């Protein structure tokens, strides 16, 4: 049985990816902060939502456990990695889907604590995850096929006004993935990312609020497909990247954006 660790698994793309992989026979450690962040003005994924994801996986015959951890805390991530290895004997895929958003004003007017949260969760959280989890991927015996995956964003290549810190963090994730791919070389572990467009998640709902839009649906018009993406559509690409058919891909930032970046 292949084993995956997924951060940001309480809802959105992380939850959809946990369900997708579990449905394909993976054992999934679903990791989330599962608590609100006092620096951010909207609710984070909750412990109840994380439990619901795991319960749904189990009800559908899959294997999953929940684990509360903050991606900004290396020690907590190390505990999560250790839990996956102890429970299932190793780790084959790691997916960094934890993310937050804040802004709505020019960068120089953004509250510093919100800027820190955006940079620390979206970028430093992926760096921390790589530092703590890639050694576990490399502990699998050769020939191995480990996968380190991250969720970037169309914001990595497209400047979004009043979301400068978010754009910076997601650009950093893309650069990190490219560098990790080179560092991992012929180890059998690859590093890739997906770059979603406007996806129907709580982050997009908060983005609509920051832009004083009536709801997230207002973002549909900016994508050539003229609709919001479903988290399951992004999860399907992450599941492909986690699997054996992506063996020739590393350092790729795969757009799953409904054409937003065109």
Show which residues are catalytic: 166
How far apart, in whole angstroms, are the C-alpha atoms of residue 27 and residue 37?
A: 29
Place of tokens 């996956």: 84
Edge-to-edge strands of the sheet including 190-196?
A: 63-68, 27-32, 3-7, 93-96, 147-151, 190-196, 253-256
In angstroms, rounded to a whole number, what is the distance separating the alpha carbons of residues 113 and 9?
24
Strand ranges (E), the chain: 3-7, 27-32, 63-68, 93-96, 147-151, 190-196, 253-256
Tell me the three state secondary structure of residue 199: strand
């Amino acid at each position: 049985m292949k084993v995956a660790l997924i951060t940001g698994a309480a809802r959105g793309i992380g939850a959809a990816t946990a369900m997708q992989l579990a449905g394909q026979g993976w054992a999934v450690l679903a990791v989330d902060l599962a608590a609100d962040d006092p620096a951010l003005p909207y609710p984070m994924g909750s412990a109840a939502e994380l439990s619901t994801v795991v319960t749904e996986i189990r009800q559908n015959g899959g294997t999953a456990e929940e684990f509360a951890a903050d991606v900004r805390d290396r020690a907590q991530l190390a505990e999560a990695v250790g839990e996956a290895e102890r429970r299932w004997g190793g780790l084959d895929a790691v997916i960094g889907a934890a993310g937050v958003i804040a802004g709505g004003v020019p960068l120089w007017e953004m509250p510093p604590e919100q800027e820190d949260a955006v940079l620390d969760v979206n970028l430093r959280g992926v760096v921390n995850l790589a530092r703590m989890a890639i050694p576990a991927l490399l502990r699998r015996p050769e020939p191995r096929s480990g996968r380190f995956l991250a969720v970037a964003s169309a914001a990595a290549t497209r400047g979004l006004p009043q979301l400068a810190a978010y754009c910076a963090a997601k650009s950093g994730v893309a650069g990190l993935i490219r560098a990790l791919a080179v560092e991992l070389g012929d180890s059998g572990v690859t590093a890739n990312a997906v770059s979603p467009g406007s996806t129907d998640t709580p982050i997009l709902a908060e983005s609509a609020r920051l832009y004083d839009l009536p709801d997230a649906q207002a973002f549909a018009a900016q994508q050539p497909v003229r609709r919001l993406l479903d988290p399951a559509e992004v999860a399907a690409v992450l599941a492909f990247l986690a699997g054996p058919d992506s063996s020739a891909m590393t350092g790729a930032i795969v757009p799953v954006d409904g054409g937003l970046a065109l």
